[in-house]
Amino acid sequence: MSDSDHDHLFDQGLLHDLEVLNALANRRRVLRWIAAAGAASLAPLFGCSSSANDGGAGAAGTGGTGTASGGAASGGAASGGDCTTIPEETGGPYPGDGTNGPNALSTSGIVRSDITSSFGTLSGTAEGVPLTVKLKIVNAAGNCESLAGYAVYIWHCDRDGKYSMYTAADQNYLRGVQETGADGTVTFTSIYPACYSGRWPHIHFEVYKSLAEASAAGTPIATSQLAMPDAQNKQVFAVSGYEASINNYAAVSLSSDMVFSDGASTETPTMTGNITDGYVAALTVGVG
């Protein structure tokens, strides 16, 4: 593929991306409505439905617009969300999973917990407010048990709103894979993503049944996104280096976002931490 062909495919701007993704988003909204209706009837059987403070616009420290306080958490299971099946979302135009060109999953070094720097033959480090992402993968089709031995691939934009391997083509940072432990949890060290024009701040992820399946760029069993909470967004975007996010964030809302407009309660992580020590975003992800 020539450089001009590559630019044509991957650098046509946000409006093009939104047009391409709109059809996918509409189809997935229908699936989410069906899943939500099913979850409402099954939750009493599983005993694992969300409390009023899980995800969404929750109380302080429980996601949504909760206020972060204290230092960054150092352990514990993910507590945002619940064991309802995570809504299926678009992987966007910059997945880096081989579905539209670049493939980070087949690159040696992709299995790592610290995703702030590029790996393999590339070098470079993404600057920004420290963020730890903790995802707990559980069985939504059974009794909400933790799923060990699964794999999670996450990726997101840098503080300039660029995606490695695409709009930041000379980098592959802010991408990584981890295998779930006995408690079903994976942990990634990263930086807080920016808000670019037209989208609510978010983090993409895919769940695979095994590390081998992920490393082979196989078929994920779930593809979704984290909706970063409003309170922490405002705090981070006031920090030097995130200036471009301020106007972008003022022009978007969860209700206007093409992905989260139909609800983000099960995709909004619990947040702890602060600007100085960094933040921890924790979410329980139901798959099945």
pLDDT on residue 31: 40
* Distance in angstroms (rounded) separating the CA atoms of residues 185 and 113: 12
Can you name the residues that pair with 190 across neighbouring β-strands?
A: 131
DSSP string, 71-129: SPP------EEEEEEPPP----S---BSSSS-BSTTSTT-B-SB-SB--TT---B--SS
Q: How many CB atoms lie within 10 A of CB 127?
A: 11
**Nearest-10 Cα torsion for 260, 104, 191, 221:** 40
Closest CA to 229 of 20, 81, 13: 81
3-class DSSP state of 211 = helix
Q: Which residues of 73-86 are buried (b: 16+ CB within 10 A; e: fewer)?
A: beeeebbbbbbbbb
Report pLDDT for 175: 98
What is the spatial distance between Cα 33 and Cα 261, in angstroms, rounded to a whole number?
12
At residue 7, the pLDDT reads: 39
Contact 212, 149 (CB under 8 A): no
Q: Are 263 and 57 in contact (CB under 8 A)?
A: no
pTM of the model: 0.76
For residue 62, the model assigns a pLDDT of 32
Tell me how far apart the alpha carbons of residues 107 and 177 are, in angstroms, rounded to a whole number: 11
Domains identified in the chain and CATH numbers:
3-287 (2.60.130.10)
What are the 10-residue block averages of pLDDT along the chain, 288 residues in total? 40 42 41 39 34 31 34 42 89 97 96 98 97 97 93 98 98 98 98 98 98 96 98 98 98 98 97 97 96
Place of tokens 């983090």: 203
